[in-house]
Amino acid sequence: MFIADFLKGKLQAILNVSECDFSVFPSGNSKFGDYATNIAFVLAKNRSASPFALAEDLKKELETNKGFCKFVSAIEAKSGYINFVLHPAWVAHIASENIQAAIKQRKKKTIVVDYSSPNIGKTLAIAHIRSTIIGDALARIYMYMGWRVITDSHVGDWGMLAGKLIAAYRTYSKKSLAQLSLEDIQDLYVRFTNGEEDNPELTERAKQETVKLQRKDKENMKIWRALVKISIREFTDIYALLGTVPFQHQYGESHYRTLADSIVKDLVASGIAQKSQGALIVPLDQEKLPPALIQKTDEAFLYITSDLGTIAFRCKTWRPDAVLYVVANEQALHFEQLFAINRLHPLDAHALLVHVKFGMMLGFDGKKFSTRHGSFISLRDVISEARERAYTIAKKKNPTISEKQLRTIARVIGIGAIKYNDLSQNRNTDVLFDWDAMLSLSGNSAPYVQYTYARLSSICAKAKAKVKTKKTTWTQKDFALFDDAENVLLKKLIQFHDVVLQASQEYAPNYIANYVYEVATMVNAWYETHHVVHAGPVVQSVRLKLVAQAMTVIKMGLGLLGIGVLSRM
RNA sequence: CCCCUCGUAGUUCAAUGGACAGAAUAAAGGACUUCUAAUCCUUUGAUGAGGGUUCGAUUCCUUCCGAGGGGACCA
């Protein structure tokens, strides 16, 4: 149940104000009721009236509405706000919902999430972590929201990069294709780019190999296919380590080359693209953007060209309602140009194209990570470091536990810490890479929330209660045994859907992370002062319901972020 | 020179234009004979600077200062 949305709809209908842009939101403080609205402020502006008096009037109008009073048991007007206390019967109804089931939509919508998108020839690095983790969370969130989700990693496998890799292989490799590992390829590439600095001949060679590849030279195609295969295998391994949703597609840029070709022809024919200094550009003065270069002097395509093909392909194949590009801030101009060209020459009429941008991960020096300057941190190293740190602590806490269990705990905690670090922030600020911050195991972190879950699991085990993970059935009578803290906690727990909805609308997984953290904080405070196992049977059974409810919310919330829970840690 | 993102406690981060700007960490003190102390409870501390719009601005506009990233043949 989307409580805020539901109440807003009721208010619109009862007060007949559908055109007015007000909001309904959970009150931050229980002294202001459970939910509140700023409707009086918004209406007062339009009618140039006093918001304070208007709030009083609206309150009276709502109080006389019998239908509305089934959902809200008390209404108050306070300094212009109207605050609502939810009706206990309705609270019981909402709390009894099965939140593990994905939300059903009336009309099933489709979304394409484009994320991770590494280049071939290199293992995944720290620079890929944000896109991979944020994209994965968004995919999970939209699946939960009942959308048809298409996950696609737009792998960089074509163009100059591919040519360089082939040239590097041909120039330096002593191994055959079959013997080659990704590490070998990476070494060859680094050696090649270093060599380029004082040997322009190598760059020339790379260009020639690129042209040969684009002309489907047999030998080059063979080398290229091997490079792609080795790279994808490595990517898949790391995604498995991270526990991300497996990609449905990893179409590379190469996949779009013929489509891009026809789009470029169309753009030229319709006069949108024109020659400039021997290359092909799309002027975007009207959009107040610099011109986009879509074809080089040597007729090779660029990043933006294949992305135009990508739009056409996706729209034709899946007919999505939205396409999310989870790509760092540095590509902002690229996407502005891409979307602008799409407006001039619509490759699809109705898909909403969104660049979900985020701040960059910066190196220790506060500058961009770059392989060339040797500031390369592989994702494998980050993962194993995280696991190691978690392992050390887990072993200290549980000296008697089996090695196998320890490893499981270390994996879930370590991965959780990495993901949470990114997903709890997700603003556009750049992030300075810092081992300790990224792998924090205490305070506002995934392990804190996971620990809360483990404690609750332990209560269930001690009380010999079966944890009902699916749903908890509540009646209004249960609340008679609650004190204030428990009331507030349950009201917090039923906000789950509101939060997920908002996270999906704003492409902001951090709303869920923050919410789950707040829930964990409340649970831990409650835990200190309320006993379950030693309480009397009646109180115990109600508190066990609360425990089950909290466990479900934490498990689901972390699950949407791609983070697991443990019954023991 | 132009464009994008950002500037909040000592540090790392929160805050759909809203009710006293929240956490974590660091510092000081306190709580395990009862469900896991990876926890809980106290205390100290912040919106880069100046204008403007608004009943109300960390949020929107503007000027300046500072950081990072882009700006036609890499992606």
Instruction: Convert A180-214 to b/e letters by CB count within 10 Å (16 or more is b).
Output: bebebbbebbbebbeebeeeeebbebbbebbebbb
Question: Total structural domains in chain A?
Answer: 3
**What is d(CA A268, CA A282) in angstroms, rounded to the nearest whole number?**
9
* Residue A534 three-state SS: coil
Is residue A387 situated within a structural domain? Answer: yes
Six-digit token pair at A133? 């983790």
The CA-based angle A504-A505-A508, given to 5 degrees, is 60
Stated in angstroms, how far is A357 CA from B61 C1'?
A: 24
Stated in angstroms, how far is A4 CA from B18 C1'?
A: 17
Any idea which nucleotide's C1' is nearest the CA of A532?
Answer: B35
Stated in angstroms, how far is A24 CA from B69 C1'?
A: 37
First-residue to last-residue Cα distance in chain A: 33
For residue A113, list its beta bridge partners. Answer: A151, A324
Residue A357 and residue A383 in one domain? no
Low-confidence ranges of chain A (pLDDT < 50): none
**What is d(CA A337, CA A355) in angstroms, rounded to the nearest whole number?**
11
Please report, for chain A, how many H helices and E strands are present, in that order: 20, 13
Any idea which nucleotide's C1' is nearest the CA of A417?
Answer: B38
Residue A170 and residue A242 in one domain? yes
**What is d(CA A482, CA A95) in angstroms, rounded to the nearest whole number?**
15
Which residues fall within 8 angstroms of residue A396, CB to CB, at 6 or more apart?
none
Any idea which nucleotide's C1' is nearest the CA of A299?
Answer: B73
**What is d(CA A388, CA A144) in angstroms, rounded to the nearest whole number?**
32
Give the long-range contacts of residues A541-548, CB within 8 A, separation 24 or more: A542/A478, A542/A481, A542/A482, A543/A486, A544/A459, A544/A460, A544/A463, A544/A465, A545/A472, A545/A473, A545/A474, A545/A478, A546/A486, A546/A489, A546/A490, A547/A456, A547/A459, A547/A460, A548/A460, A548/A467, A548/A468, A548/A469, A548/A472
Is residue A196 situated within a structural domain? Answer: yes
Residue A328 and residue A445 in one domain? no
Protein residue with the closest CA to the C1' atom of nucleotide B23: A444
List, for residues A382-431, the tens digit of each pLDDT value: 999 999 999 999 999 999 899 999 999 999 999 999 999 999 988 888 88
Is residue A369 situated within a structural domain? Answer: no
For strand B, which nucleotides have at least one atom less than 7 Å from a protein CB?
A: 3-7, 12-16, 18-20, 23-25, 34-41, 55-56, 67-75
Is residue A102 situated within a structural domain? Answer: no
- CA dihedral over A387, A392, A394, A398, signed as positive or negative: positive
For residue A125, list its beta bridge partners. Answer: A378
**What is d(CA A120, CA A331) in angstroms, rounded to the nearest whole number?**
19
Q: Which helix (DSSP H) or strand (DSSP E) does residue A483 occupy?
A: none
Q: What is the DSSP string of A385-412?
A: HHHHHHHHHHHHH-TTS-HHHHHHHHHH
Q: Quick one: DSSP state of residue A79?
A: T
Boundary (domain end) residue, out of A44, A70, A86: A86
Closest CA to A341 of A298, A307, A300, A301: A307
Residue A349 and residue A402 in one domain? no
For residue A150, list its beta bridge partners. Answer: A112
Look up the domain containing A505 and give its range. Answer: 379-560
Is residue A92 situated within a structural domain? Answer: no
* Residue A324 three-state SS: strand
Stated in angstroms, how far is A444 CA from B46 C1'?
A: 19
Residue A159 and residue A197 in one domain? yes
How crowded is the C-beta side of A332, counted as CA atoms within 13 Å? 8
Stated in angstroms, how far is A296 CA from B35 C1'?
A: 69
**What is d(CA A125, CA A136) in angstroms, rounded to the nearest whole number?**
17
What pLDDT is stored for residue A20 in this prediction?
Answer: 82
**What is d(CA A405, CA A391) in angstroms, rounded to the nearest whole number?**
10
Residue with tokens 């999970």: A140
What pLDDT is stored for residue A373 in this prediction?
Answer: 55
Evaluate whether A503 touches A561 at the Cβ level (below 8 Å).
Answer: no
Is residue A568 situated within a structural domain? Answer: no
Taking the whole predicted model, whether its pTM rises above 0.90 is answered as yes
Protein residue with the closest CA to the C1' atom of nucleotide B18: A38
Q: Residue A538's domain is classified under what CATH number?
A: 1.10.730.10
φ, ψ of residue A152 in degrees (nearest 5)? -145, 125
Stated in angstroms, how far is A473 CA from B9 C1'?
A: 44
Closest CA to A308 of A348, A274, A272: A348
What pLDDT is stored for residue A335 in this prediction?
Answer: 96
Closest CA to A3 of A84, A114, A76, A82: A84
Is residue A544 situated within a structural domain? Answer: yes
What pLDDT is stored for residue A465 in this prediction?
Answer: 67
Any idea which nucleotide's C1' is nearest the CA of A41?
Answer: B55
Residue A395 and residue A517 in one domain? yes
Any idea which nucleotide's C1' is nearest the CA of A118?
Answer: B75
Evaluate whether A103 touches A147 at the Cβ level (below 8 Å).
Answer: no
Average pLDDT, chain A: 92
Boundary (domain end) residue, out of A52, A86, A120: A86
How crowded is the C-beta side of A406, counted as CA atoms within 13 Å? 16
Six-digit token pair at A191? 């050696």
Q: Residue A81's domain is classified under what CATH number?
A: 3.30.1360.70
Is residue A91 situated within a structural domain? Answer: no
Residue A336 and residue A248 in one domain? yes
Residue A394 and residue A526 in one domain? yes
**What is d(CA A349, CA A342) in angstroms, rounded to the nearest whole number?**
9
The CA-based angle A26-A30-A36, given to 5 degrees, is 35
Name the amino acid, one letter, at A265.
Answer: K
Q: Residue A270's domain is classified under what CATH number?
A: 3.40.50.620
Helix spans in A97-217 (H) = 129-144, 159-172, 182-196, 200-214
Evaluate whether A358 touches A130 at the Cβ level (below 8 Å).
Answer: yes
Residue A136 and residue A280 in one domain? yes
Which residues fall within 8 angstroms of residue A507, CB to CB, at 6 or more apart?
A138, A324, A354, A356
What pLDDT is stored for residue A21 in this prediction?
Answer: 85
Q: Phi/psi class of residue A152: alpha, beta or left (left: φ > 0; alpha: ψ in -120 to 50)?
A: beta
Stated in angstroms, how far is A330 CA from B70 C1'?
A: 6
Stated in angstroms, how far is A347 CA from B15 C1'?
A: 39
Residue A61 and residue A199 in one domain? no
List, for residues A308-360, the tens digit of each pLDDT value: 999 999 999 999 999 999 999 999 999 999 999 999 987 766 899 999 999 98
Protein residue with the closest CA to the C1' atom of nucleotide B6: A429
Closest CA to A561 of A424, A443, A428, A442: A424
Boundary (domain end) residue, out of A54, A86, A118: A86
Any idea which nucleotide's C1' is nearest the CA of A452?
Answer: B39
Residue A335 and residue A384 in one domain? no
Six-digit token pair at A383? 């993962």
Protein residue with the closest CA to the C1' atom of nucleotide B19: A79
What pLDDT is stored for residue A371 in this prediction?
Answer: 59
Any idea which nucleotide's C1' is nearest the CA of A51?
Answer: B55
**What is d(CA A183, CA A189) in angstroms, rounded to the nearest whole number?**
10
Stated in angstroms, how far is A129 CA from B15 C1'?
A: 25
Residue A10 and residue A57 in one domain? yes
Stated in angstroms, how far is A235 CA from B75 C1'?
A: 18
